[in-house]
Protein backbone atom coordinates (compact mmCIF):
# COMPACT_ATOMS: atom_id res chain seq x y z
CA UNK A 1 0.00 0.00 0.00
CA UNK A 2 2.67 2.41 1.11
CA UNK A 3 4.94 1.18 -1.61
CA UNK A 4 2.16 1.75 -4.14
CA UNK A 5 1.70 5.30 -2.94
CA UNK A 6 5.42 5.89 -3.23
CA UNK A 7 5.50 4.48 -6.71
CA UNK A 8 2.67 6.77 -7.75
CA UNK A 9 4.41 9.74 -6.18
CA UNK A 10 7.61 9.09 -8.10
CA UNK A 11 5.70 8.46 -11.30
CA UNK A 12 3.91 11.77 -11.05
CA UNK A 13 7.18 13.45 -10.11
CA UNK A 14 8.79 12.01 -13.24
CA UNK A 15 5.83 13.11 -15.35
CA UNK A 16 5.90 16.62 -13.96
CA UNK A 17 9.62 16.95 -14.48
CA UNK A 18 9.39 15.72 -18.06
CA UNK A 19 6.50 18.05 -18.82
CA UNK A 20 8.20 21.02 -17.24
CA UNK A 21 11.44 20.35 -19.06
CA UNK A 22 9.64 19.96 -22.38
CA UNK A 23 7.46 23.03 -21.98
CA UNK A 24 10.28 25.19 -20.73
CA UNK A 25 12.56 24.12 -23.57
CA UNK A 26 9.97 24.08 -26.32
CA UNK A 27 8.32 27.41 -25.67
CA UNK A 28 11.33 29.62 -26.29
CA UNK A 29 12.50 27.50 -29.20
CA UNK A 30 9.09 27.66 -30.82
CA UNK A 31 8.80 31.37 -30.14
CA UNK A 32 12.21 32.14 -31.56
CA UNK A 33 11.65 30.04 -34.64
CA UNK A 34 8.19 31.53 -35.27
CA UNK A 35 9.29 35.11 -34.74
CA UNK A 36 12.37 34.73 -36.89
CA UNK A 37 10.45 32.99 -39.63
CA UNK A 38 7.75 35.63 -39.57
CA UNK A 39 10.30 38.43 -39.67
CA UNK A 40 12.17 36.71 -42.42
CA UNK A 41 8.95 36.12 -44.34
CA UNK A 42 7.89 39.74 -44.08
CA UNK A 43 11.25 41.11 -45.11
CA UNK A 44 11.62 38.53 -47.84
CA UNK A 45 8.22 39.45 -49.20
CA UNK A 46 9.14 43.09 -49.11
CA UNK A 47 12.39 42.39 -50.87
CA UNK A 48 10.74 40.24 -53.52
CA UNK A 49 8.00 42.79 -54.12
CA UNK A 50 10.51 45.61 -54.30
CA UNK A 51 12.63 43.67 -56.74
CA UNK A 52 9.70 42.85 -58.98
CA UNK A 53 8.38 46.35 -58.75
CA UNK A 54 11.70 47.81 -59.75
CA UNK A 55 12.05 45.34 -62.57
CA UNK A 56 8.68 46.19 -64.01
CA UNK A 57 9.22 49.89 -63.55
CA UNK A 58 12.53 49.78 -65.41
CA UNK A 59 11.21 47.75 -68.28
CA UNK A 60 8.12 49.83 -68.46
CA UNK A 61 10.29 52.87 -68.97
CA UNK A 62 12.44 50.98 -71.47
CA UNK A 63 9.49 49.93 -73.56
CA UNK A 64 7.82 53.30 -73.35
CA UNK A 65 10.98 55.02 -74.46
CA UNK A 66 11.45 52.46 -77.27
CA UNK A 67 7.99 53.19 -78.56
CA UNK A 68 8.30 56.94 -78.15
CA UNK A 69 11.64 56.91 -79.92
CA UNK A 70 10.19 55.12 -82.93
CA UNK A 71 7.28 57.47 -82.96
CA UNK A 72 9.64 60.44 -82.77
CA UNK A 73 11.64 59.09 -85.73
CA UNK A 74 8.55 58.93 -87.88
CA UNK A 75 7.31 62.28 -86.68
CA UNK A 76 10.66 63.78 -87.55
CA UNK A 77 10.36 62.30 -90.99
CA UNK A 78 6.81 63.62 -91.43
CA UNK A 79 7.44 67.10 -90.15
CA UNK A 80 10.69 67.80 -91.94
CA UNK A 81 9.69 66.66 -95.37
CA UNK A 82 6.97 67.89 -97.66
CA UNK A 83 4.46 65.47 -99.08
CA UNK A 84 6.04 65.88 -102.46
CA UNK A 85 9.40 64.75 -101.18
CA UNK A 86 7.88 61.98 -99.15
CA UNK A 87 5.72 60.68 -101.94
CA UNK A 88 8.63 59.10 -103.63
CA UNK A 89 9.60 55.47 -103.28
CA UNK A 90 13.26 56.16 -103.66
CA UNK A 91 13.31 58.82 -100.99
CA UNK A 92 11.48 56.53 -98.62
CA UNK A 93 13.85 53.73 -99.44
CA UNK A 94 16.75 55.98 -98.59
CA UNK A 95 15.15 57.04 -95.29
CA UNK A 96 14.37 53.43 -94.39
CA UNK A 97 17.98 52.51 -94.99
CA UNK A 98 19.10 55.37 -92.72
CA UNK A 99 16.71 54.26 -89.98
CA UNK A 100 17.76 50.65 -90.32
CA UNK A 101 21.36 51.68 -90.14
CA UNK A 102 20.75 53.66 -86.97
CA UNK A 103 18.33 51.30 -85.20
CA UNK A 104 18.91 47.91 -86.69
CA UNK A 105 16.12 45.93 -88.26
CA UNK A 106 13.47 47.46 -86.07
CA UNK A 107 11.89 49.34 -88.95
CA UNK A 108 10.50 46.93 -91.51
CA UNK A 109 9.03 49.33 -94.01
CA UNK A 110 7.89 52.93 -94.54
CA UNK A 111 4.83 54.15 -96.35
CA UNK A 112 2.69 57.19 -97.13
CA UNK A 113 -1.04 56.63 -96.93
CA UNK A 114 -3.61 59.13 -98.12
CA UNK A 115 -6.88 59.99 -96.42
CA UNK A 116 -8.70 57.28 -98.29
CA UNK A 117 -6.35 54.61 -97.05
CA UNK A 118 -4.41 54.09 -100.22
CA UNK A 119 -0.69 53.73 -99.89
CA UNK A 120 0.83 56.30 -102.15
CA UNK A 121 4.45 55.48 -101.69
CA UNK A 122 6.21 52.53 -100.09
CA UNK A 123 9.65 51.37 -99.21
CA UNK A 124 10.20 47.91 -97.87
CA UNK A 125 10.44 44.26 -98.69
CA UNK A 126 6.79 43.55 -99.46
CA UNK A 127 5.97 45.72 -102.49
CA UNK A 128 2.87 47.19 -100.99
CA UNK A 129 2.45 50.22 -103.29
CA UNK A 130 -1.19 51.13 -103.68
CA UNK A 131 -2.20 48.82 -100.91
CA UNK A 132 -5.66 49.54 -99.58
CA UNK A 133 -5.86 50.28 -95.83
CA UNK A 134 -9.23 51.98 -95.65
CA UNK A 135 -10.79 49.09 -93.75
CA UNK A 136 -7.80 48.45 -91.51
CA UNK A 137 -8.44 48.96 -87.87
CA UNK A 138 -5.26 50.93 -87.31
CA UNK A 139 -6.03 53.26 -90.19
CA UNK A 140 -9.38 54.18 -88.73
CA UNK A 141 -7.82 55.00 -85.38
CA UNK A 142 -4.77 56.77 -86.77
CA UNK A 143 -6.83 59.11 -88.92
CA UNK A 144 -8.37 60.61 -85.85
CA UNK A 145 -5.22 61.53 -83.93
CA UNK A 146 -1.83 63.09 -84.61
CA UNK A 147 0.31 60.11 -83.86
CA UNK A 148 -0.59 56.52 -83.29
CA UNK A 149 0.94 53.23 -82.25
CA UNK A 150 -1.17 50.23 -83.05
CA UNK A 151 -1.62 47.02 -81.18
CA UNK A 152 0.16 44.02 -82.54
CA UNK A 153 -1.79 42.42 -85.34
CA UNK A 154 -1.26 40.00 -88.16
CA UNK A 155 -2.09 42.48 -90.91
CA UNK A 156 -2.21 41.84 -94.63
CA UNK A 157 0.77 39.54 -94.64
CA UNK A 158 -0.33 37.40 -91.73
CA UNK A 159 2.83 38.20 -89.83
CA UNK A 160 2.71 39.83 -86.38
CA UNK A 161 3.74 43.44 -86.41
CA UNK A 162 2.54 46.81 -85.31
CA UNK A 163 2.36 50.15 -86.93
CA UNK A 164 3.59 53.57 -85.93
CA UNK A 165 1.78 56.32 -87.79
CA UNK A 166 2.00 60.14 -87.77
CA UNK A 167 -0.63 62.36 -89.34
CA UNK A 168 0.58 65.12 -91.70
CA UNK A 169 -1.62 67.86 -93.07
CA UNK A 170 -0.60 69.52 -96.26
CA UNK A 171 -2.73 71.63 -98.59
CA UNK A 172 -5.86 70.72 -96.71
CA UNK A 173 -5.32 67.01 -97.18
CA UNK A 174 -4.38 64.51 -94.48
CA UNK A 175 -1.66 62.03 -95.07
CA UNK A 176 -0.31 59.35 -92.79
CA UNK A 177 3.35 58.53 -92.56
CA UNK A 178 3.45 54.98 -91.36
CA UNK A 179 6.20 52.53 -90.39
CA UNK A 180 6.00 48.88 -89.56
CA UNK A 181 7.95 47.88 -86.49
CA UNK A 182 9.46 44.47 -86.44
CA UNK A 183 7.67 42.39 -83.89
CA UNK A 184 10.69 40.27 -83.05
CA UNK A 185 12.80 43.29 -82.13
CA UNK A 186 10.09 44.56 -79.86
CA UNK A 187 9.37 41.14 -78.49
CA UNK A 188 12.98 40.62 -77.44
CA UNK A 189 12.65 43.63 -75.14
CA UNK A 190 10.19 41.70 -73.06
CA UNK A 191 11.04 38.13 -73.73
CA UNK A 192 14.50 38.47 -72.23
CA UNK A 193 13.03 39.55 -68.98
CA UNK A 194 13.15 36.49 -66.78
CA UNK A 195 12.79 36.21 -63.03
CA UNK A 196 13.84 33.15 -61.09
CA UNK A 197 12.95 29.83 -62.71
CA UNK A 198 9.38 30.49 -63.67
CA UNK A 199 9.12 34.25 -63.90
CA UNK A 200 8.60 35.84 -67.32
CA UNK A 201 7.08 38.99 -68.76
CA UNK A 202 4.48 39.77 -71.40
CA UNK A 203 2.39 42.65 -72.64
CA UNK A 204 -1.37 42.69 -72.99
CA UNK A 205 -3.61 45.13 -74.74
CA UNK A 206 -7.01 46.31 -73.66
CA UNK A 207 -8.67 43.31 -75.16
CA UNK A 208 -6.45 40.98 -73.23
CA UNK A 209 -4.52 39.91 -76.32
CA UNK A 210 -0.80 39.27 -76.12
CA UNK A 211 1.36 41.95 -77.57
CA UNK A 212 4.47 39.88 -77.14
CA UNK A 213 5.28 36.23 -77.37
CA UNK A 214 5.03 35.00 -73.80
CA UNK A 215 7.59 32.41 -72.81
CA UNK A 216 5.07 29.90 -71.62
CA UNK A 217 1.70 31.48 -71.29
CA UNK A 218 -1.45 29.80 -72.35
CA UNK A 219 -4.34 32.03 -73.08
CA UNK A 220 -5.46 33.59 -69.83
CA UNK A 221 -9.07 34.18 -69.00
CA UNK A 222 -10.36 37.66 -69.51
CA UNK A 223 -11.83 37.66 -66.10
CA UNK A 224 -8.32 37.61 -64.64
CA UNK A 225 -6.91 40.41 -66.69
CA UNK A 226 -9.91 42.64 -66.32
CA UNK A 227 -9.05 42.62 -62.68
CA UNK A 228 -5.58 43.90 -63.47
CA UNK A 229 -6.93 46.69 -65.62
CA UNK A 230 -9.22 48.01 -62.95
CA UNK A 231 -6.56 47.58 -60.29
CA UNK A 232 -3.88 49.35 -62.34
CA UNK A 233 -6.20 52.22 -63.15
CA UNK A 234 -6.83 52.62 -59.46
CA UNK A 235 -3.15 52.65 -58.53
CA UNK A 236 -2.51 55.41 -61.10
CA UNK A 237 0.57 54.53 -62.99
CA UNK A 238 2.21 52.78 -60.07
CA UNK A 239 3.32 49.18 -60.16
CA UNK A 240 0.73 46.80 -58.85
CA UNK A 241 1.85 43.63 -57.16
CA UNK A 242 -0.72 41.01 -56.47
CA UNK A 243 -1.26 37.32 -56.12
CA UNK A 244 -3.70 35.57 -58.29
CA UNK A 245 -4.64 31.99 -58.84
CA UNK A 246 -4.38 31.16 -62.49
CA UNK A 247 -6.67 28.87 -64.42
CA UNK A 248 -4.84 25.68 -63.55
CA UNK A 249 -4.99 26.56 -59.90
CA UNK A 250 -1.37 27.61 -59.39
CA UNK A 251 -0.87 30.68 -57.34
CA UNK A 252 1.19 33.25 -59.13
CA UNK A 253 2.76 36.51 -58.21
CA UNK A 254 1.96 39.27 -60.68
CA UNK A 255 3.70 42.59 -61.04
CA UNK A 256 1.71 44.83 -63.34
CA UNK A 257 2.51 48.27 -64.82
CA UNK A 258 0.70 50.21 -67.51
CA UNK A 259 2.36 51.09 -70.81
CA UNK A 260 1.71 53.30 -73.78
CA UNK A 261 -0.50 55.76 -71.90
CA UNK A 262 -2.51 53.07 -70.30
CA UNK A 263 -3.26 51.06 -73.41
CA UNK A 264 -1.05 48.15 -72.68
CA UNK A 265 -0.10 46.28 -69.52
CA UNK A 266 3.38 44.99 -68.81
CA UNK A 267 2.96 41.94 -66.65
CA UNK A 268 5.64 39.92 -64.92
CA UNK A 269 4.34 36.63 -63.73
CA UNK A 270 6.10 34.22 -61.42
CA UNK A 271 4.91 31.17 -59.55
CA UNK A 272 4.59 32.11 -55.90
CA UNK A 273 6.29 28.87 -54.94
CA UNK A 274 9.26 29.85 -57.09
CA UNK A 275 9.35 33.46 -55.92
CA UNK A 276 9.42 32.36 -52.32
CA UNK A 277 11.46 29.20 -52.77
CA UNK A 278 14.17 30.54 -50.45
CA UNK A 279 11.52 31.18 -47.87
CA UNK A 280 10.21 27.72 -48.34
CA UNK A 281 13.67 26.26 -47.98
CA UNK A 282 14.22 28.33 -44.88
CA UNK A 283 10.94 27.09 -43.52
CA UNK A 284 11.92 23.50 -44.22
CA UNK A 285 15.27 23.96 -42.48
CA UNK A 286 13.49 25.50 -39.50
CA UNK A 287 11.09 22.58 -39.38
CA UNK A 288 13.95 20.08 -39.53
CA UNK A 289 15.84 21.92 -36.80
CA UNK A 290 12.69 22.09 -34.75
CA UNK A 291 12.02 18.40 -35.19
CA UNK A 292 15.56 17.33 -34.39
CA UNK A 293 15.82 19.75 -31.48
CA UNK A 294 12.41 18.70 -30.26
CA UNK A 295 13.35 15.07 -30.43
CA UNK A 296 16.55 15.84 -28.55
CA UNK A 297 14.66 17.78 -25.91
CA UNK A 298 12.11 15.04 -25.44
CA UNK A 299 14.75 12.34 -25.20
CA UNK A 300 16.86 14.37 -22.80
CA UNK A 301 13.81 15.32 -20.75
CA UNK A 302 12.89 11.68 -20.38
CA UNK A 303 16.42 10.57 -19.69
CA UNK A 304 17.46 13.25 -17.20
CA UNK A 305 14.11 13.31 -15.42
CA UNK A 306 14.20 9.60 -14.88
CA UNK A 307 17.77 9.71 -13.73
CA UNK A 308 17.03 12.54 -11.35
CA UNK A 309 13.97 10.86 -9.95
CA UNK A 310 16.01 7.72 -9.45
CA UNK A 311 18.53 9.76 -7.51
CA UNK A 312 15.85 11.50 -5.48
CA UNK A 313 14.36 8.16 -4.76
CA UNK A 314 17.67 6.82 -3.56
CA UNK A 315 18.25 9.92 -1.46
CA UNK A 316 14.78 9.57 0.05
CA UNK A 317 15.49 5.95 0.80
CA UNK A 318 18.79 6.86 2.43
CA UNK A 319 17.10 9.57 4.43
CA UNK A 320 14.47 7.17 5.61
CA UNK A 321 17.09 4.64 6.62
CA UNK A 322 19.04 7.38 8.34
CA UNK A 323 15.95 8.49 10.21
CA UNK A 324 15.38 4.97 11.38
CA UNK A 325 18.96 4.76 12.49
CA UNK A 326 18.73 8.07 14.33
CA UNK A 327 15.59 6.97 16.12
CA UNK A 328 17.29 3.70 16.98
CA UNK A 329 20.37 5.50 18.24
CA UNK A 330 18.24 7.86 20.28
CA UNK A 331 16.43 4.94 21.82
CA UNK A 332 19.71 3.26 22.62
CA UNK A 333 21.05 6.44 24.17
CA UNK A 334 18.04 6.90 26.45
CA UNK A 335 18.14 3.25 27.44
CA UNK A 336 21.82 3.71 28.13
CA UNK A 337 21.18 6.70 30.35
CA UNK A 338 18.47 4.85 32.21
CA UNK A 339 20.75 1.88 32.64
CA UNK A 340 23.55 4.10 33.91
CA UNK A 341 21.25 5.67 36.48
CA UNK A 342 19.98 2.34 37.70
CA UNK A 343 23.43 0.81 37.76
CA UNK A 344 24.79 3.63 39.83
CA UNK A 345 21.91 3.59 42.28
CA UNK A 346 22.13 -0.17 42.71
CA UNK A 347 25.87 -0.30 43.08
CA UNK A 348 26.06 1.34 46.50
CA UNK A 349 23.38 -0.76 48.22
CA UNK A 350 24.98 -3.89 46.78
CA UNK A 351 28.35 -2.76 48.09
CA UNK A 352 26.90 -2.27 51.56
CA UNK A 353 25.16 -5.65 51.46
CA UNK A 354 28.37 -7.37 50.49
CA UNK A 355 30.25 -5.57 53.23
CA UNK A 356 27.62 -6.56 55.79
CA UNK A 357 27.83 -10.15 54.67
CA UNK A 358 31.59 -9.92 54.94
CA UNK A 359 31.23 -8.55 58.47
CA UNK A 360 29.00 -11.45 59.47
CA UNK A 361 31.62 -13.77 58.05
CA UNK A 362 34.26 -12.04 60.13
CA UNK A 363 32.16 -12.43 63.24
CA UNK A 364 31.48 -16.10 62.57
CA UNK A 365 35.14 -16.75 62.89
CA UNK A 366 34.97 -15.81 66.55
CA UNK A 367 35.09 -18.68 68.97
CA UNK A 368 31.54 -18.71 70.28
CA UNK A 369 30.20 -19.34 66.77
CA UNK A 370 32.94 -21.72 65.76
CA UNK A 371 31.17 -24.63 67.37
CA UNK A 372 27.76 -23.63 66.03
CA UNK A 373 25.69 -26.35 64.51
CA UNK A 374 24.88 -24.52 61.33
CA UNK A 375 28.24 -22.85 60.86
CA UNK A 376 28.70 -24.65 57.58
CA UNK A 377 25.36 -23.42 56.27
CA UNK A 378 26.04 -19.86 57.42
CA UNK A 379 29.34 -19.84 55.59
CA UNK A 380 27.75 -21.24 52.46
CA UNK A 381 24.99 -18.60 52.54
CA UNK A 382 27.49 -15.81 53.07
CA UNK A 383 29.62 -17.07 50.26
CA UNK A 384 26.55 -17.15 48.07
CA UNK A 385 25.68 -13.56 49.02
CA UNK A 386 29.20 -12.56 48.18
CA UNK A 387 29.10 -14.32 44.82
CA UNK A 388 25.75 -12.80 43.87
CA UNK A 389 26.98 -9.36 44.97
CA UNK A 390 29.92 -9.72 42.67
CA UNK A 391 27.58 -10.75 39.90
CA UNK A 392 25.57 -7.59 40.51
CA UNK A 393 28.74 -5.61 40.35
CA UNK A 394 29.66 -7.12 37.04
CA UNK A 395 26.24 -6.39 35.60
CA UNK A 396 26.22 -2.78 36.71
CA UNK A 397 29.77 -2.36 35.52
CA UNK A 398 28.84 -3.57 32.08
CA UNK A 399 25.76 -1.40 31.96
CA UNK A 400 27.78 1.62 32.93
CA UNK A 401 30.55 1.06 30.47
CA UNK A 402 28.01 0.45 27.74
CA UNK A 403 26.16 3.68 28.46
CA UNK A 404 29.26 5.71 29.10
CA UNK A 405 29.70 8.67 26.87
CA UNK A 406 33.23 9.25 25.81
CA UNK A 407 34.58 12.71 25.80
CA UNK A 408 34.93 13.77 22.19
CA UNK A 409 36.75 17.05 22.75
CA UNK A 410 39.84 17.35 20.60
CA UNK A 411 43.26 17.92 22.08
CA UNK A 412 46.80 18.03 20.77
CA UNK A 413 48.24 14.81 22.03
CA UNK A 414 51.34 12.72 21.77
CA UNK A 415 50.05 9.33 20.71
CA UNK A 416 52.81 7.51 22.60
CA UNK A 417 51.53 8.94 25.92
CA UNK A 418 48.10 7.47 25.34
CA UNK A 419 49.58 4.12 24.36
CA UNK A 420 51.77 4.07 27.48
CA UNK A 421 48.83 4.92 29.74
CA UNK A 422 46.59 2.25 28.31
CA UNK A 423 49.34 -0.36 28.37
CA UNK A 424 50.12 0.31 32.02
CA UNK A 425 46.40 0.22 32.81
CA UNK A 426 46.06 -3.15 31.15
CA UNK A 427 49.28 -4.56 32.53
CA UNK A 428 47.66 -5.86 35.73
CA UNK A 429 44.93 -7.67 33.88
CA UNK A 430 47.50 -9.04 31.46
CA UNK A 431 49.52 -10.46 34.32
CA UNK A 432 46.52 -12.56 35.43
CA UNK A 433 46.23 -13.94 31.90
CA UNK A 434 49.96 -14.66 31.68
CA UNK A 435 50.25 -12.20 28.85
CA UNK A 436 53.05 -9.71 28.55
CA UNK A 437 52.56 -6.44 26.78
CA UNK A 438 55.52 -4.99 24.92
CA UNK A 439 55.71 -1.59 23.34
CA UNK A 440 57.84 -0.33 20.52
CA UNK A 441 57.23 3.38 20.14
CA UNK A 442 58.86 5.71 17.66
CA UNK A 443 59.99 8.66 19.74
CA UNK A 444 59.72 11.35 17.10
CA UNK A 445 55.99 11.15 16.45
CA UNK A 446 54.38 14.53 15.77
CA UNK A 447 51.49 15.81 17.89
CA UNK A 448 48.07 15.06 16.47
CA UNK A 449 44.69 16.57 17.23
CA UNK A 450 42.28 13.86 18.32
CA UNK A 451 39.99 13.04 21.20
CA UNK A 452 42.23 11.28 23.77
CA UNK A 453 39.35 9.42 25.42
CA UNK A 454 38.24 8.01 22.11
CA UNK A 455 41.77 6.89 21.29
CA UNK A 456 42.02 5.31 24.75
CA UNK A 457 38.78 3.47 24.14
CA UNK A 458 40.02 2.13 20.82
CA UNK A 459 43.32 0.89 22.25
CA UNK A 460 41.69 -0.55 25.35
CA UNK A 461 39.20 -2.42 23.18
CA UNK A 462 41.94 -3.89 21.00
CA UNK A 463 44.12 -4.88 23.96
CA UNK A 464 41.18 -6.34 25.87
CA UNK A 465 40.17 -8.36 22.83
CA UNK A 466 43.71 -9.68 22.54
CA UNK A 467 43.75 -10.52 26.24
CA UNK A 468 40.41 -12.33 25.96
CA UNK A 469 41.69 -14.27 22.98
CA UNK A 470 44.79 -15.40 24.88
CA UNK A 471 42.98 -16.08 28.16
CA UNK A 472 43.88 -19.74 28.11
CA UNK A 473 47.13 -19.79 26.20
CA UNK A 474 48.94 -16.68 27.37
CA UNK A 475 51.38 -14.93 25.09
CA UNK A 476 52.65 -11.55 24.02
CA UNK A 477 50.92 -8.43 22.85
CA UNK A 478 53.10 -6.07 20.88
CA UNK A 479 51.95 -2.45 20.58
CA UNK A 480 53.98 -0.26 18.27
CA UNK A 481 53.67 3.20 16.79
CA UNK A 482 55.54 4.77 13.90
CA UNK A 483 55.20 7.11 10.97
CA UNK A 484 53.56 5.06 8.27
CA UNK A 485 55.59 4.05 5.26
CA UNK A 486 52.55 2.86 3.38
CA UNK A 487 50.28 5.87 3.83
CA UNK A 488 51.87 9.28 3.48
CA UNK A 489 51.25 11.74 6.35
CA UNK A 490 49.85 9.06 8.63
CA UNK A 491 50.85 7.57 11.95
CA UNK A 492 50.30 3.85 12.19
CA UNK A 493 49.53 2.02 15.44
CA UNK A 494 49.93 -1.75 15.35
CA UNK A 495 48.45 -4.03 18.00
CA UNK A 496 49.71 -7.53 17.38
CA UNK A 497 49.20 -10.69 19.40
CA UNK A 498 50.40 -14.26 19.02
CA UNK A 499 47.08 -15.74 20.07
CA UNK A 500 44.89 -18.29 18.30
CA UNK A 501 43.92 -15.97 15.41
CA UNK A 502 40.54 -15.26 13.86
CA UNK A 503 38.93 -17.66 11.34
CA UNK A 504 38.69 -16.16 7.87
CA UNK A 505 34.90 -16.36 7.83
CA UNK A 506 34.73 -14.11 10.87
CA UNK A 507 37.35 -11.66 9.65
CA UNK A 508 34.95 -10.07 7.21
CA UNK A 509 32.32 -9.44 9.83
CA UNK A 510 34.59 -8.47 12.66
CA UNK A 511 33.73 -4.76 12.45
CA UNK A 512 29.98 -5.36 12.13
CA UNK A 513 27.97 -4.17 15.10
CA UNK A 514 26.64 -6.93 17.36
CA UNK A 515 28.96 -9.48 15.83
CA UNK A 516 30.59 -11.45 18.61
CA UNK A 517 32.10 -14.87 19.12
CA UNK A 518 32.05 -14.61 22.88
CA UNK A 519 29.45 -16.61 24.84
CA UNK A 520 26.09 -14.96 25.51
CA UNK A 521 26.37 -12.30 28.19
CA UNK A 522 30.12 -11.93 27.77
CA UNK A 523 30.40 -9.61 24.82
CA UNK A 524 28.15 -7.01 23.29
CA UNK A 525 29.68 -7.19 19.81
CA UNK A 526 30.04 -3.45 19.85
CA UNK A 527 33.72 -3.01 20.70
CA UNK A 528 35.29 -3.23 17.25
CA UNK A 529 32.41 -1.51 15.51
CA UNK A 530 32.83 1.40 17.92
CA UNK A 531 36.57 1.40 17.19
CA UNK A 532 35.84 1.41 13.49
CA UNK A 533 33.44 4.33 13.89
CA UNK A 534 35.90 6.33 15.96
CA UNK A 535 38.82 5.78 13.57
CA UNK A 536 36.63 6.64 10.61
CA UNK A 537 35.56 9.84 12.33
CA UNK A 538 39.20 10.76 12.84
CA UNK A 539 39.74 10.38 9.10
CA UNK A 540 41.88 7.30 9.57
CA UNK A 541 41.39 3.66 8.81
CA UNK A 542 41.73 0.33 10.53
CA UNK A 543 42.42 -3.09 9.13
CA UNK A 544 43.06 -6.58 10.41
CA UNK A 545 45.23 -9.51 9.40
CA UNK A 546 45.02 -12.85 11.09
CA UNK A 547 46.49 -16.28 10.69
CA UNK A 548 45.02 -19.19 12.60
CA UNK A 549 47.46 -20.37 15.24
CA UNK A 550 49.89 -17.52 14.63
CA UNK A 551 48.09 -14.43 15.79
CA UNK A 552 46.23 -11.33 14.83
CA UNK A 553 47.42 -7.91 13.82
CA UNK A 554 45.32 -4.76 13.91
CA UNK A 555 46.67 -1.65 12.18
CA UNK A 556 45.29 1.83 12.68
CA UNK A 557 46.29 4.77 10.50
CA UNK A 558 45.68 8.25 11.88
CA UNK A 559 46.25 11.23 9.59
CA UNK A 560 48.79 13.84 10.66
CA UNK A 561 47.20 17.28 10.44
CA UNK A 562 49.26 20.13 9.16
Partner 1 sequence: MTTPYIMLVDDEVPFVETMSKRLVKRGLKVIAADSGNDALVKLDQDSKVDVIILDVKMPGMDGIETLQEIKKRHPIKEVIMLTGHATVETAIEGMKLGAFDYLMKPCDLDILMSKVQEAFKKKHEHESKIDKARIDKLVLTRGY
Question: Which residues are registered as beta bridge partners of 253?
Answer: 243, 270
- Cβ neighbour number for residue 269 with a 10 Å cutoff: 23
Cα angle 253, 258, 261 (rounded to 5 degrees) comes to 175
State which of residues 199, 220, 257, 389 lies at the interface with partner 1 (CB under 8 A). Answer: 389
Residue count at the site for partner 1 (CB under 8 A)? 29
Q: How far apart are the first and last CA of the chain?
A: 54
Closest contact distance (angstroms) between CB of 495 and partner 1 is 16
List 136, 181, 275, 343, residue binding partner 1 (CB under 8 A): 343
Rule CB under 8 A: is residue 347 a binding residue for partner 1?
A: yes
The verdict on 396 binding partner 1 (CB under 8 A) reads yes
Q: How far is the CB of 529 from partner 1 (least distance, A)?
A: 19
523/471 Cα distance (integer angstroms): 15
* Region near partner 1 per CB under 8 A, out of 67-75, 106-114, 223-231, 450-458: 450-458
Closest approach, Cβ 415 to partner 1, in A, equals 15
Give the span between the Cα atoms of 85 and 136, in whole angstroms.
26
Give the nearer residue to partner 1 in terms of CB position, either 364 or 494: 364
> Is residue 352 near partner 1 by the rule CB under 8 A?
yes
Among 117, 196, 224, 358, the residue binding partner 1 under the rule CB under 8 A is 358
Does 117 bind partner 1 (CB under 8 A)? Our answer is no
The strand pair at 119-123 and 551-559 is best described as unpaired
Contact between 350 and partner 1 by CB under 8 A: the answer reads yes
Q: What is the 3-state secondary structure (H, E, C) of 98-121?
A: HHHHHHHHHEEEEEEEECCCEEEE
SS (H, E, C) 444-513: CCCCEEECHHHHHHHHHHHHHHHHHHCCCCCEEEEEEEEECCCCCCEEEEEEEECCCCCCHHHHCCCCCC
Using CA atoms, how far apart are residues 68 and 96, in angstroms rounded to an integer?
Answer: 18
Q: Which residues pair with 352 in a beta bridge?
A: none
- Angstrom distance (rounded) from CA 358 to CA 355: 5
Would you count residue 421 as binding partner 1 (CB under 8 A)?
Answer: yes
The least CB distance from residue 395 to partner 1, in Å, is: 12
Residue 393 near partner 1 by CB under 8 A: yes
Task: Determine if 439 is a binding residue for partner 1 (CB under 8 A).
Answer: no
Task: Examine residue 377 and tell whether it contacts partner 1 (CB under 8 A).
Answer: no
CB of 14 to partner 1, least distance (A): 54
Of 195, 189, 188, the C-alpha closest to 62 is 189
Say if residues 181 and 164 touch (Cβ distance below 8 Å): yes
Q: How far is the CB of 508 from partner 1 (least distance, A)?
A: 30
Nearer to partner 1, 350 or 466 (CB): 350
Contact between 411 and partner 1 per CB under 8 A: no
**Please, which residue, 401 or 440, has the CB nearer to partner 1?**
401
Q: Which residues contact 452 (CB under 8 A, 6 or more apart)?
A: 407, 411, 413, 418
Pattern 460-499, partner 1, x by CB under 8 A = x---------------------------------------
Which residue of 46, 94, 170, 355 would you call a contact of partner 1, by CB under 8 A? 355
Distances in whole angstroms, Cα of residue 456 to Cα of each of 408, 416, 425, 464, 531 = 11, 11, 10, 12, 10
- CB-based contacts of 63, cutoff 8 Å, min separation 6: 189, 190, 203, 259, 260, 266
Based on CB atoms, which residue is closest to partner 1, 212 or 457?
457
Please state, in angstroms and rounded to a whole number, the distance separating the CA atoms of residues 391 and 154.
141
Considering only 7, 8, 47, 390, the residue that binds partner 1 (CB under 8 A) is 390
Piece of 28-36, 50-58, 297-305, 350-358 that binds partner 1 (CB under 8 A): 350-358
Among 137, 233, 318, 407, binds partner 1 (CB under 8 A): 407
Binds partner 1 (CB under 8 A): choice among 181, 354, 423, 462: 354
Looking at residue 132, what DSSP letter applies? Answer: B
Residue 356 makes contact with partner 1 by CB under 8 A? yes
Q: Helix 183-191 vs helix 2-80: angle between axes, to the nearest 10 degrees? A: 150
The residue from 359, 369, 447, 514 that contacts partner 1 (CB under 8 A) is 359
Binding region for partner 1 (CB under 8 A): 343-344, 347-348, 350-352, 354-356, 358-359, 362, 389-390, 393, 396-397, 400-401, 404, 407, 421-422, 425, 453, 456-457, 460
Amino acid sequence: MNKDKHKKYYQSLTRNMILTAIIVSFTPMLLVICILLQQFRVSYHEKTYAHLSELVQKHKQNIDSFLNEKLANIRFLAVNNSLETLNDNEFLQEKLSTLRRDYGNVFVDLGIVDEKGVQLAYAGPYGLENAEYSDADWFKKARRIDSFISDVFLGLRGYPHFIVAVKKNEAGRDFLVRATIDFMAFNSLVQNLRVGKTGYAFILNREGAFQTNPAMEYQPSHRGYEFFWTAVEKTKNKILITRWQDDVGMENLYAVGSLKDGQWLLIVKQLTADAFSDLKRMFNIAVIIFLIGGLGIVVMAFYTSRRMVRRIRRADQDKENMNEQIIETGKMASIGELAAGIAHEINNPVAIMVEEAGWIGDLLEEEEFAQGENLEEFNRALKQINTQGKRCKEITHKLLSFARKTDATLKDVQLNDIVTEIVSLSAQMAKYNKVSIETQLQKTLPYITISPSEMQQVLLNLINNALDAMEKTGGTIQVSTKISEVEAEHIVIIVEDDGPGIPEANLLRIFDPFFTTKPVGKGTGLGLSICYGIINKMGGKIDVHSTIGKGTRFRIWIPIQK
